[in-house]
Amino acid sequence: MSEQVILIAEDEQMIAELERDYLEASGYHVDIAADGKECIRKFMSGSYDMVLLDVMLPEVDGFEICRTIRMSSNVPVMMITARKEDIDKIRGLGLGADDYMVKPFSPPEMVARVKAHIGLHERLSGTAPVSDGAYKAKVIRNGELAIHPDEFRVFMGEKEILLVKKEFELLLFFAENLGIVFSKDNLFEKVWGIDAIGDTSTVTVHIKRLRDKLRDAGAEDEYIETVWGTGYRMKALEK
């Protein structure tokens, strides 16, 4: 397997070096950008397996960088910031970030989250090593919606829908549990699990993004229904 490379965007040198040291000790190669413009330049010209992104960067802030990354890449993005406001978490996740850590944080926990996000991204994108006898590719269909779990691809009819990792996982979970109602807490536990940041509002954000993307792709039905006072479900549709 080729060496995995992580881009750290952090203007506080001591924090950047701390993150680098722990990640390099875990076998990762690390590249550091000290401001937003340098981060975008390096990301666009390099090849990275994950980005650790400080929100309050000089030149270009982390929110705008996340937006730029998501225009061309599904690479995992974890935002790291000293700001604790929920609105910042929701904004970052709404722009496509996969995770969020608040300073001061535990470096071993940071490494654990990085490993989890990179491993899951590799499995979903089909780049992880597979053993002999790996399961056969499958397609999950519901109405005009077609999900290819092995290829990390989603189609509405003939049109492909580009999703980030957590959007894909959430949609796949719904499709594998048609008609079953799940509360936000249920979905948070099942989809985000132990790597979650601890805020179920991210479920609402991701469901809104999924609905928007399905609608933009031409969905004539509301695939993900709100069951008032209870939660959400994906309704079964005929082809």
pLDDT tens digit string along 213-232? 999 998 888 899 999 988 99
Share of the chain above pLDDT 90, in %: 38
CB neighbour burial string for 191-213, b if at least 16 within 10 angstroms, e if fewer: bbeebbbeeeebbbbbbebbeeb
Q: Tell me, yes or no, whether 80 lies in a domain.
A: yes
Query: Which residue has better confidence, 148 or 1?
Result: 148
How would you write the chain as a 3-class SS string?
CCCCEEEEECCCHHHHHHHHHHHHHCCCEEEEECCHHHHHHHHHHCCCCEEEEECCCCCCCHHHHHHHHHCCCCCCEEEEECCCCHHHHHHHHHCCCCEEEECCCCHHHHHHHHHHHHHHHHHHHCCCCCCCCCCCCCCEEECCEEEECCCCEEEECCEEECCCHHHHHHHHHHHCCCCCCECHHHHHHHHHHHHCCCCCHHHHHHHHHHHHHHHHCCCCCCCEEEECCCEEEECCCCC
Average of pLDDT values for 40-45? 93
Average of pLDDT values for 51-56? 92
Q: Are residues 51 and 85 in the same domain?
A: yes
pLDDT interval class at 72 (50, 70, 90): confident
Query: Which residue has better confidence, 102 or 200?
Result: 102
Query: Which residue has better confidence, 136 or 213?
Result: 213
Residue after which a domain boundary falls, among 125, 157, 187: 125
Q: Tell me, yes or no, whether 239 lies in a domain.
A: no
- Tell whether the model's pLDDT for residue 137 goes beyond 80: no
For the domain that residue 157 is a member of, what is the CATH number? 1.10.10.10
Q: Are residues 24 and 82 in the same domain?
A: yes
Whole-number pLDDT of residue 164? 83
How many domains does the structure of the chain reveal? 2
- Tell whether the model's pLDDT for residue 84 goes beyond 80: no
β-pair type (77-81, 145-148) = unpaired
pLDDT interval class at 239 (50, 70, 90): low
Residue closest to 78 by CA, chosen among 204, 212, 207, 192: 192
Whole-number pLDDT of residue 126? 57
Q: Are residues 121 and 9 in the same domain?
A: yes
Looking at every residue in the chain, the average pLDDT score rounds to 84
Average of pLDDT values for 8-34? 93
Look up residue 83 and give its amino acid: R
For the domain that residue 53 is a member of, what is the CATH number? 3.40.50.2300
Whole-number pLDDT of residue 131? 44
Average of pLDDT values for 74-89? 79
Domain that holds residue 56: 5-125
Whole-number pLDDT of residue 134? 43
Whole-number pLDDT of residue 199? 65
Q: 57 near 9, Cβ under 8 Å?
A: yes
Residue where the block lists tokens 């000290």: 34
